[in-house]
Amino acid sequence: MTARSEQVTERLEYAVVVPTVGRPSLGVLLASLAGQEHPPREVLVVDDRREEPSEPLEIPDRPGWRAVRGGGRGPAHARNVGWHGVRDVSVEWVVFVDDDVRLPRAWSAELVADLADLDDRVGGSQAVIEVPLPGVAEGRRPTDWERGTAGLQDAVWATAEMAYRPGALSAVGGFDERFPRAFREDADLALRVRRSGYELVKGSRRIVHPVRPADPWVSVRVQRGNADDALMRRLHGRDWMRVADCPPGRLPWHGVTVAAALAAGAAAVAGRRRVAGAGALLWLGLVTDFAWRRIAPGPRDRREVLTMTATSAVIPFTAVWHRLAGEWRHRRAAAWQAPVRAVLFDRDGTLVHDVPYNGEPSLVEPVEGARVAVQRLRDNGIRVGVVTNQSAVGRGLLTTDQVAAVNERVDELLGPFDTWQVCPHAPEDGCACRKPQPGLVHAAAEQLGVAPREVVVVGDIGADVRAAEAAGATGVLVPNAQTRHEEVVAAARTAGSITDAVDQILRERP
């Protein structure tokens, strides 16, 4: 390590993002992370279980470590939630780590050494992945599933452990969430980051990725990834596998196998026995060849032979079906644009008419069109919330109970809202939540399980827009009589009314 590397190592700040569905291996990962010599500045564990969990994730009680909700939308979305949720502006790198890996004790020292001498043109750095194969020490050959997992050792830009600069992620909008599973989303991100002008490099740090237990039909289920290959082809062209350094698959042979089976069936129905027999023989030969290619390198025990024989007959049909479904689903796919998943409104002057320091619920009066506008967002599956400064509490003019009563009245008239975020501080308190600071927007996004980039903040003054921008969200200014002219001029986006603002949001939604 150079002298400069040693200096950078002492001050290099990084955050770790771990998407998880609550696997038992998460505890092993977090324990190995907690024991590192150079701990991360922040650790965000994104709980991506589909259902509201009955038990929260067990996260070590350490400064900067926390769990956030991902909403069960897949690892691409979960990673976006994670890196957008990093709060410390000193963080120079975000390291994505899967919940089923282990970090050697020297990992953090090797990480900062890898990153220390990289210039600003380098946007990402990949770890070396080691996959210990069960049974090798006893001389047992690996199974098909174990060999497939071992392929991660040669994978390029795999987010089992991959560090990215936040600026590189922002430049391309993060992970494309149309990839619903942990397959191809990392290759897609790497291609877009490189096309935006950044370089990607391989580091020398190492991680361990054990082989997870799997049932006999796992190889059939993973054929869903063929739909993701269709999306890759649509986004990156016919030559995407070569450009992304991905090994070619067996889909063309699967296509021939399915065609042979269909031809045999059609000929049999038409009474053309010889053609049917030839098609059946071709199908049988292709399936036998495929099965043997999977059996030969393996342990060749009874369980493996039966599993490979059965799945080799099914996989061609499954693979072709998912590829065709993906081609149809993504036939009009364009470049990734993060969708709007939540809209946060300022309260006074935006949702309801501004009554200065109002503590009386009976004085709450919605602005024209507010109820319909908010309901339209709900009807389109967009979550809604309120972010409001209430400095009257900090100034001693209102109590928190009075503010809560007014908020309850707003909920009665326009709600229920999915989140309420209130700053009770006076301006001189210097808090991190009072708009134009981003605290309220970050808190709302975290509670809703969305990334700030997926949030639009609608307000009537410049502080609302600046809070959105500071949080990484989009701001829309809806001016009224109290809005200053310079705030209107400075706003990147404006709307004539709350109705117009919602029209914009829904019209631009992918």
**Which neighbouring-strand residues pair with 66?**
44
> Token match 């047992």: residue?
140
> Token match 């310079």: residue?
486
> Does residue 103 sit in the same domain as residue 244?
no
Among residues 48, 98, 228, 348, which one is catalytic? 348
Instruction: With cut-offs at 50, 70 and 90, classify the pLDDT of residue 8.
Output: very low
CATH number (domain holding residue 76):
3.90.550.10
Residue 186 annotated in active site: no
Average of per-residue pLDDT across 433-441 = 95
Encoded amino acid at 312, one letter? S
Residue 422: which of 456, 455, 452, 393 has the closest Cα?
A: 393
* pLDDT value of position 411: 95
Domain with 49, as residue range(s), is: 3-214
Evaluate if residue 6 carries a pLDDT over 90.
no
> Token match 């809703």: residue?
448
Helix (H/G/I), strand (E/B), else coil: 138: coil
* pLDDT value of position 7: 47
* pLDDT value of position 329: 96
> Does residue 254 sit in the same domain as residue 176?
no
Domain boundary among 288, 312, 336: 336
* Torsion 242-246-247-250 (CA) sign: negative
Give CA–CA dist 264/258, Å, rounded.
10
Give CA–CA dist 162/148, Å, rounded.
20
Evaluate if residue 437 carries a pLDDT over 80.
yes
Please state the domain count of the chain. 3
* Torsion 377-378-383-386 (CA) sign: positive
> Does residue 427 sit in the same domain as residue 311?
no
> Does residue 221 sit in the same domain as residue 210?
no
Instruction: With cut-offs at 50, 70 and 90, classify the pLDDT of residue 52.
Output: confident
Q: Are 174 and 338 in contact (CB under 8 A)?
A: yes
* pLDDT value of position 138: 80
Please tell me the pTM assigned to this model: 0.76
Evaluate if residue 41 carries a pLDDT over 50.
yes
> Does residue 70 sit in the same domain as residue 184?
yes
Instruction: With cut-offs at 50, 70 and 90, classify the pLDDT of residue 137.
Output: confident
Evaluate if residue 424 carries a pLDDT over 90.
yes
**Which neighbouring-strand residues pair with 345?**
386, 458
**Which neighbouring-strand residues pair with 243?**
none
> Does residue 294 sit in the same domain as residue 386?
no
Evaluate if residue 321 carries a pLDDT over 90.
yes
> Does residue 154 sit in the same domain as residue 227?
no
Adjacency order of strands within the sheet including 455-459: 419-423, 383-389, 342-345, 455-459, 474-477
361-373 per-residue burial string, b: 16 or more CB within 10 A, e: under 16? beebebbeebeeb
Evaluate if residue 305 carries a pLDDT over 80.
yes
Among residues 98, 176, 346, 464, which one is catalytic? 346
Evaluate if residue 89 carries a pLDDT over 80.
no
Average of per-residue pLDDT across 109-134 = 95
Report the percent of the chain where pLDDT is more than 90. 78
Q: Are 456 and 340 in contact (CB under 8 A)?
A: yes
> Does residue 497 sit in the same domain as residue 400?
yes
> Does residue 97 sit in the same domain as residue 146?
yes
> Token match 């190592």: residue?
9
Domain boundary among 336, 365, 391: 336
Give, in order, the Cα–Cα distances in Å from 172 to each of 121, 168, 176, 177, 195.
15, 7, 9, 13, 9
> What is the chain's length?
510
The angle formed by the CA atoms of residues 316, 319 and 325, to the nearest 5 degrees, is: 135
* pLDDT value of position 456: 96
Domain boundary among 186, 214, 242: 214
> Does residue 87 sit in the same domain as residue 201?
yes
The angle formed by the CA atoms of residues 149, 248 and 173, to the nearest 5 degrees, is: 75
Residue 460 annotated in active site: no
Query: Token pair of 412, please?
Result: 């009665």
Give CA–CA dist 34/37, Å, rounded.
9
Give CA–CA dist 74/83, Å, rounded.
15
> Does residue 231 sit in the same domain as residue 370?
no
pLDDT in tens, 55-66: 888 899 999 998
> Does residue 229 sit in the same domain as residue 315?
yes
Query: Token pair of 40, please?
Result: 């991360």
* pLDDT value of position 10: 56
- Of residues 60 and 87, the one with the higher pLDDT is 60
* pLDDT value of position 459: 96
CATH number (domain holding residue 473):
3.40.50.1000
